[in-house]
């Protein structure tokens, strides 16, 4: 099976799993349920659950067995997008080629939809089959730290405070280690933990995840300058409009591309101890360098 075929197979698994999880519990309010489904089922790469499953593969288990936890992390990611698009944050009108949640359902309902997806995610991950209680607790800790003030929310707070300010490269990297990188790190580490990774394997996958998250953000900044709005599914140039520092503005487009390549090389090198079982993760790094959306 080719890299693209495997990606598509697992993305389809995630789509099906998300539908199942949404139907497993009936929301208290029908409008809230529609708002949650609107953003969660709006498409996307499903990269984080795919990373989680691929990390489990890399230590010798079948990543498909951890689809439930993969669905949970996609809920956390989607919540962050719903909130990030709000007028008080990035004030975006389109996400994944569709009007953003708050433009359809209003600011208040969008906030509640994000809140609901975040809290539902932890209920879902605790339903992961064939995982020991101590393993589930370790995964919950990974996810909560990544999503909260020491990770994604902390990075978003730093992002808000950095608007219209001159920040240095160290501050930019700290911001994105939280806002973007923390959830990638949690996805990879959670897949490895669920699969029973040894300490050396977990350390290698953690380093890979950190480099992957950095490379993803660099290429995201590049796409905000060079990308096509139709392909990306959201307006380009939003960073410039919001006067945000990026890897492109702090260096240059060519230097950002060089940094992305170097970071992907470092991510790939981190996988050396895992052999062929990590082949898909290596291909994911190459995908970053050539992605269009």
DSSP helix/strand/coil, 205: helix
Selected residue with higher pLDDT from 131 and 27: 131
pLDDT for the residue 231: 52
Q: Measuring CA to CA, how many Å separate 79 from each of 16, 41, 56, 113, 270?
A: 19, 12, 24, 7, 30
pLDDT at residue 42 in the model: 95
Q: Are 157 and 190 a contacting pair, CB within 8 Å?
A: no
C-alpha distances out from residue 124 to 70, 95, 224, 241, Å? 10, 25, 33, 37
Q: Please name the helix (run of DSSP H) or strand (run of DSSP E) that holds residue 191, with its range, or none.
A: helix 182-194
Q: Please state the pTM of the whole predicted model.
A: 0.93
Outline where DSSP puts E strands in the chain. 94-95, 98-99
pLDDT digits (tens, 9 = 90+) for 130-166: 899 999 999 999 999 999 999 999 999 999 998 888 8
Q: Judge contact between 69 and 94, C-beta under 8 A.
A: no
Angstrom distances, CA of residue 74 to CA of 41, 70, 207, 239, 252: 10, 6, 21, 24, 32
- pLDDT for residue 164: 81
Is 227 a residue whose pLDDT tops 70? no
Tell me which residue has tokens 């953000």: 217
Q: Please state, in angstroms and rounded to a whole number, the distance separating the CA atoms of residues 227 and 220.
A: 9
pLDDT per position as a tens digit, 254-279: 999 999 999 999 999 999 999 999 99
So what's the pLDDT on residue 229? 63
Query: What pLDDT is attached to residue 239?
Result: 57
What is the sign of the dihedral through the CA atoms of 31, 36, 39 and 44? negative
């Amino acid at each position: 099976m080719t890299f693209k075929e495997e990606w598509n197979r697992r993305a389809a698994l995630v789509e099906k799993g998300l539908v199942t999880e949404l139907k497993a519990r009936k929301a208290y309010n029908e409008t809230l349920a529609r708002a949650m489904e609107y953003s969660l089922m709006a498409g996307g790469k499903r990269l984080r659950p795919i990373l989680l499953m691929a990390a489990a593969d890399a230590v010798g288990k079948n990543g498909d067995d951890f689809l439930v936890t993969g669905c949970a992390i996609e809920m956390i990611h989607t919540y962050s997008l719903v909130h990030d698009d709000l007028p008080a944050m990035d004030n975006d009108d389109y996400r994944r080629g569709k009007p953003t949640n708050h433009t359809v359902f209003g600011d208040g309902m969008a906030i509640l939809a994000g809140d609901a997806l975040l809290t539902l995610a932890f209920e879902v991950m605790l339903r992961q089959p064939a995982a020991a209680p101590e393993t589930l607790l370790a995964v919950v800790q990974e996810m909560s730290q990544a999503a909260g003030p020491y990770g994604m929310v902390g990075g978003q707070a730093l992002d808000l405070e950095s608007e219209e300010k001159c920040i240095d490269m160290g501050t930019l990297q700290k911001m994105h280690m939280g806002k973007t990188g923390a959830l990638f790190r949690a996805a990879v580490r959670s897949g490895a933990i669920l699969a029973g990774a040894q300490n050396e394997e977990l350390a290698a996958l953690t380093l890979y995840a950190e480099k992957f998250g950095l490379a993803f953000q660099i290429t995201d900044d590049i796409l905000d300058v060079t990308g096509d709005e139709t392909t990306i599914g959201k307006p380009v140039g939003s960073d410039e409009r919001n006067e945000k520092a990026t890897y492109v503005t702090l260096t240059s487009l060519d230097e950002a591309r060089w940094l992305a390549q170097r970071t992907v090389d470092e991510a790939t090198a981190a996988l050396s101890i895992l052999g062929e079982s990590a082949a898909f993760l290596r291909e994911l790094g190459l995908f970053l360098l050539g992605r269009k959306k």
